[in-house]
Each structure stands twice: as structure tokens, then as C-alpha cells.
Chains A and B, each alone.
Chain A
Amino acid sequence: MVESIVSTGLAIGCIYALIAITYNVMFSASRVFSFTAGTLGMLGGVLGSLFIARMGLPVAVGFLLTLAGGAAIGIVTEIVAVRPVLKSLDQHLYVLSTLALALMIQQYTAIEWSTEPQPFPRLFDIERGGFDQQFWLPMLACAVTIVGLELLYRRTLIGHAFLAIAEDNFAARALGLPERRLRMASFALAGVIGALAGFAGGQMLLAFFANAPMLTFYGFVPVALGGMGNNRGAVVAGLLLGLFQQAANFLVGGIFASVAVFTVFIIVLLARPEGIAGASLPRRV
């Protein structure tokens, strides 16, 4: 009982954390939250199921193609929904443009793929144990992503450039950094992380178009709780969210779990809009 709560909760929490990191990577590159974050997670599951189960490609090929698909959607997001409205960031038009794009992708998936949840293939042909691959795959993906991002941001030149853009856009451009290309690269990276989340969690969430709004919301909760742009806060909050949700699900039922998560989300946002771990920003008046 406890075992199953912990393993399911941590696995789901890892998926939420990965979606939260997707939000953060896009946010630090452009100061824009994109509704396509959850859509990318949904696409990870759908594309994985499409390539591996329906088209019969090898797992490794299907995996790489899924990530490439995520990267492509990330770049499309930047070109179609983010770049046109960046000039007037203070009008917050990105809320509507990214929402529109997310809906288009979701609707297209519903029509062309299926409106019913489709099975996601088992990736490794090993015995179904107590601690199954559907649980440790999201955890592995989350760990790899965190370590990879840390290495990228700390050790590589392009990672430093990402940080520079995120810290001070104008200063970075004054130094001659190619802001637009770096932003596109960030969105491609975010797309890869989002698709990875959906792919790794495919066996739990199935390949289902309606996962998109669900992941968009539950993936944003860690961002709001952990502070925007703060990946470590997002991971901790994501894991806690997953554990809390599963525990409440098992112990008191699904209704209470959903309502409790939403209540906590609203209360935290009202009390500390910058997130529990976030630094409070002075408001410009």
C-alpha cells in the first residue's frame, strides 16, 4: 500500500516536475509562460505510441523521433506563438497565442490520432516486478534531465549564453549574443524535455489527447509553488505534489485529491504569488 503510493506518487511527481522544467526553460529564455508545455507532454506519449506501437519502429528510433518531434513543436511555438507577441510583452498576448497553438495541436491530435486513450508500448521486455519500469522510467528521465541541465548551464558555453539571456536580456544582446537563435534553441530544448516527460510517463498516462490540459495545469503547480524559473524548487514541489495527490487518492478518494490540490494552489498563489521558494519581486507602479 505505502509502497504503491510512494512509487506511483514519485513517478507522477517526476512527470509534473519535468513539465515544470519545460515551463521554466521557456520562461527563462523569453519571459513567457507557454500553454504548450502540457501539450508537449501529451505529444511525447502520443508520438511514442505512434512510432513504436503503430508503426513498429525499434524503441530507440521511436524515442529519438519523439524527442525530435518535441523539439520541432518547441521551435514552432517560438516562431508562431511567442516571437510575434514578444515586442509587447507587457500586454501579455502570449497567454492567448500559446493557448491557441496548444489547442490547435490538441485538437489535431484528437482528430487524427484518437479521442480514446491508446495503450503505450512497454519499452523493455522484462518481467513485471513490484517496482515496474512504468515507475522508474519517469524517475530516470527526471534525474537525467536535472543532471543534464545542470551540466549544460554550468559547464558549456551555450549554457552560459542561456543563463546570460535569462539574467539580463539587454546586456546579453549588447555583448553580441544571438538572442533569437538562443531563444529558439531554448524552446527546442524545452520541447525535448516535455516530450521526454510524456514518453517516460507514457505507460502510466497512456497516449491520450486530453492529457494536455491536465499536464498543463498540474505541471504549472510546481512552477507556481517552487518559484518561476527555479528548477530545483520545481522538482521538489513536483515530487511533493505527486506524492500528496496519490496519497490523497488512495486514502480519501479522488474528489478530495483534486480539490485539495487546487485549494493549496490557490492559497499559495494568493499568499505568496512569487512561489514558496521564489524571491519576491518589487512591483513596478
Chain B
Amino acid sequence: MDTQATPLHASRTNALGAPSSLNAALPFLALLVVGIAFPLFGGGYWGVIATRACIYWVLASGLNLVVGFGGQIAIGWVALLTLGAYTTSVLVAGNVGPPLPPYLALAIAAVVGAVFGLIVGLPALRLRTFYFAITTLGFATIVTQVALAWQSVTGGGVGVAGPVFPHPFASQWGFYYFCFGLAAICTWMTLNVAASRFGRALTAIRDAEVAAEASGISKPGLLATVFLFSGAVAAVAGGLFASLQSYITPDAFTLDLSILFFIAILIGGRGSILGPLLGTILLTVLPEFAAPLVAWSTFLYAVLLLVIVSRSPAELPRSSISRTAARSRATARSFRGPTCSSRCLARPPASAP
């Protein structure tokens, strides 16, 4: 793991080339070291929590591109976690066709997740804000209903056993390293995406859609790719989640989880990878320190969301047009608007991933 993941981060610092990029990579390297060394000082239960944090980040890293960079309010993303969890478990259990090996099932879940990520995301091309938010919410509602109703496959309310990944990943720490490795890869991939013209194009779409499209960014293609990626990693996270839980029922996938991911990204700050990463770890670990708060955690997250919205709207997706910018938006659209995105895009495509 050590030899595999460290060069990933090193290659990023090389790719960017700028002297400041080493400083930017330091927090990630520190997290990498802590993550690898974690079994040395973590107890058994903390191992479960650390594994959970890794799994959540696998999903949140993809969602971060949608919410933090693309500015789409996707609140029902837990549906893709559900979908991935059920696809993996059902294929491994052999409820549909012959039982498949867990890795193959996980790969199939990723494909299914990508397709459904695209289907849920497609409306974002025409619909904005509330409409898109409620579409994802509706999808989450329906996935749960289908999981409950399709008893022959999903086991209905009784549920289905999660997959067990074979040796070397069967033990607790083996599985932890498996999830940690995937989380590291997701971090590396999203860092590369964010640093490329791809990420800048996403930000341009979020900040000034018309100007971005006028500068030659294809919004449908861009968003479709992001939704495919985000759906795939969310479904992979679902497969891992099912394995960690060892048994899944529709109750395990409430909207609360969705809100956890969403708020982790919001408190981390838009357009950042490190922030949402720390946010995800924080929100996963925090309830463990205050046991009485566990029941109230979603309530507190909602309060937090309300406070963020009313106090510091600059942190939010779609709020990127600051107040001053909003005032001069008419001018910006006609004169200065496209300059940012065209400057961003004017860089040679060599830095693309």
C-alpha cells in the first residue's frame, strides 16, 4: 500500500510543477501516512470508524465534483450508495443468476452506478436548483421503495447479506486497507480532475454558465462525465458499505446519510478537495465522541446547514457570484464575464488527465 499510493501523490506534485504544489500536497501526504499507520494505534472499534470514513470519502469525493465544483445541489446521492450496496450484495448472494465473485460484482455495481448517476444527473442539464434537488430526492425515495418492494431480489424489509471480500481483505485491517486504498485513489483522481482544464471548466459552468458555454465549454458533455464518475464511485462505496455492515436493509440508507455527505462538502468549502475530505472525516468521527448526540446528529447537521446558509453564503454552491459580482453582473456578462473562463481555458490541454 505504501509503495502503491505514495507515488500517486508524488506524481501530482510533479505534474503541477509549481513550487507551492509541494505545500499543497503536504496535508494529503500527512493523511496518507496517518491512514497507513492507523492500525498501529487504533483499537478494534476505531478501525470500523476509520473504514467507514474511507468509504464515505469514496462517495463524497465524487459528489464533491458535482456539488463543490459543478455547483449542482444533489441532495439525494445516498440513492446511488443504496444502489451499489444492493447490486453488489445481490450479485454476490446469487439472487439473480449465479453467485459472482465480489470484485466482479463491485465492478458491475460501478457500471450500474455510473449509468444511474447519469440518469439522475441528466435533468441537471435543463433543470436548476430546486427542481434538480427534488429530482434527486425523488430518486432516493424511489430506490428505497423498490428495495422494499422487490422482495425476491432484495429481500424486502428483511434485507440481504453483504459481500465478504476474500483473503487478504477479509480481516478487519485487510478490509480497512482495501477501502483506504480506494479512498486514496479517489483522492488522487479528483485532485487531478480539479487541477486540469476539466475542473476549471466545471467551475466556469458553476460560476457563469452562459459565459462558459460561450467560451466553448460543452456543458452536457462535461456534466454527463462528472455524473458518470460520481455515480460509479458512489456505487463502489455502496458495495464497500454493504460489506462493512455485513447485512443491509432499506432502513440503513436514510436521507440522513445524504445530508452528511452534502454538509461535509459544504463545510469543507466549495472548489476544494482537502476541505471536504477533512469534513467527511470530522462528521464521521464526531458522533463517536459524544454518544448522547448520535440520535441528534442529523438534527445538528441540519442546524449547521441552516447556519451556514444564513451566515456565510459564500461557501455554498451556486452562490459563487458574490454580492459585488452580482451587482455588476450585467457588465460582467457583456464585457468581463468570459475573461476568467477563457483565460482558464486558454491554457494548453497538456495538463488534462
Could you list which residues of chain A lie within 8 angstroms of chain B, going by C-beta atoms? 33, 80-81, 84-85, 88, 90-97, 99-101, 103-104, 107-108, 111, 213-214, 216-217, 220-221, 224, 253-255, 258-259, 261-262, 265-266, 269-270, 273, 285
Chain B residues 22 to 76 lying within 8 A of chain A, measured CB to CB, are 73, 75
Contact with A along B108-142 (1 / 0, CB 8 A): 00000000000100110011111101110111111
| B137 in complex: contacting residue of A104, A108, A216, A270, CB < 8 Å | A216
A262-B149 in contact (CB<8A): no
Q: Tell me, rounded to whole Å, the shortest Cβ–Cβ distance linking B96 to chain A.
A: 14
Q: Which residue of A lies closest to B153 (CB)?
A: A255
Given contacts A85-B310, A96-B305, A255-B150, contact A91 B126 (CB under 8 A): no
Q: Tell me, rounded to whole Å, the shortest Cβ–Cβ distance linking B247 to chain A.
A: 19
Q: Which residue of A lies closest to B259 (CB)?
A: A103
Taken together as a complex, chains A and B put the C-alpha atoms of A83 and B129 apart, in Å, by 18
Given contacts A96-B73, A96-B305, A262-B139, contact A254 B313 (CB under 8 A): no
Contact with A along B147-159 (1 / 0, CB 8 A): 0011000000000
Q: Which residue of A lies closest to B321 (CB)?
A: A91
Q: Which residue of A lies closest to B133 (CB)?
A: A95
Taken together as a complex, chains A and B put the C-alpha atoms of A85 and B305 apart, in Å, by 13
B145-A103 in contact (CB<8A): no
Q: Which residue of A lies closest to B143 (CB)?
A: A258
Could you list which residues of chain B lie within 8 angstroms of chain A, going by C-beta atoms? 73, 75, 119, 122-123, 126-131, 133-135, 137-142, 145-146, 149-150, 210, 255-256, 259, 295-296, 298-299, 301-303, 305-306, 308-310, 313, 316, 318-319, 321, 323, 326, 333
Given contacts A90-B326, A92-B318, A93-B316, contact A101 B128 (CB under 8 A): no
Measured between beta carbons, the chain A residues less than 8 angstroms from B146 are 255, 258-259
Taken together as a complex, chains A and B put the C-alpha atoms of A285 and B127 apart, in Å, by 15
Taken together as a complex, chains A and B put the C-alpha atoms of A265 and B122 apart, in Å, by 13
Taken together as a complex, chains A and B put the C-alpha atoms of A265 and B135 apart, in Å, by 8
Measured between beta carbons, the chain A residues less than 8 angstroms from B308 are 96
Q: Tell me, rounded to whole Å, the shortest Cβ–Cβ distance linking B316 to chain A.
A: 7
Main DSSP-derived SS at the A contact region: helix
Q: Tell me, rounded to whole Å, the shortest Cβ–Cβ distance linking A115 to chain B.
A: 9
A107-B129 in contact (CB<8A): no
Q: Which residue of B lies closest to A103 (CB)?
A: B302
Q: Which residue of B lies closest to A33 (CB)?
A: B130
Q: Which residue of B lies closest to A101 (CB)?
A: B306
A217-B137 in contact (CB<8A): yes
Taken together as a complex, chains A and B put the C-alpha atoms of A90 and B325 apart, in Å, by 12
Given contacts A101-B302, A108-B299, contact A253 B73 (CB under 8 A): no
Given contacts A92-B129, A100-B302, contact A213 B141 (CB under 8 A): yes
Measured between beta carbons, the chain B residues less than 8 angstroms from A111 are 295-296, 299
Measured between beta carbons, the chain A residues less than 8 angstroms from B301 are 103
Measured between beta carbons, the chain A residues less than 8 angstroms from B298 are 103, 107
A104-B299 in contact (CB<8A): yes
Measured between beta carbons, the chain B residues less than 8 angstroms from A100 are 302-303, 305-306, 309
B306-A93 in contact (CB<8A): no
Measured between beta carbons, the chain A residues less than 8 angstroms from B127 are 269-270, 273
Q: Which residue of A lies closest to B314 (CB)?
A: A91
A213-B321 in contact (CB<8A): no
Taken together as a complex, chains A and B put the C-alpha atoms of A213 and B259 apart, in Å, by 13
B255-A213 in contact (CB<8A): yes
Taken together as a complex, chains A and B put the C-alpha atoms of A254 and B250 apart, in Å, by 15
Q: Tell me, rounded to whole Å, the shortest Cβ–Cβ distance linking A72 to chain B.
A: 18
Q: List 13 A-B contacts (CB under 8 A).
A: A88-B319, A88-B326, A91-B326, A99-B305, A101-B306, A103-B302, A213-B141, A220-B138, A221-B138, A258-B142, A262-B142, A266-B119, A269-B135
Given contacts A90-B326, A107-B299, could you give 17 more A-B pairs where the C-beta distance is less than 8 Å? A85-B310, A91-B318, A92-B318, A97-B309, A103-B255, A103-B302, A104-B303, A107-B296, A220-B138, A255-B145, A258-B146, A262-B139, A265-B138, A266-B122, A266-B123, A269-B123, A273-B131
Q: Tell me, rounded to whole Å, the shortest Cβ–Cβ distance linking B174 to chain A.
A: 35
Measured between beta carbons, the chain B residues less than 8 angstroms from A266 are 119, 122-123, 135
Taken together as a complex, chains A and B put the C-alpha atoms of A99 and B141 apart, in Å, by 15
A92-B128 in contact (CB<8A): yes
A217-B131 in contact (CB<8A): no
Taken together as a complex, chains A and B put the C-alpha atoms of A88 and B142 apart, in Å, by 32
Q: Which residue of B lies closest to A267 (CB)?
A: B123
Taken together as a complex, chains A and B put the C-alpha atoms of A103 and B300 apart, in Å, by 10
Taken together as a complex, chains A and B put the C-alpha atoms of A221 and B138 apart, in Å, by 9
Measured between beta carbons, the chain B residues less than 8 angstroms from A104 are 299, 302-303, 306
Q: Tell me, rounded to whole Å, the shortest Cβ–Cβ distance linking B332 to chain A.
A: 13
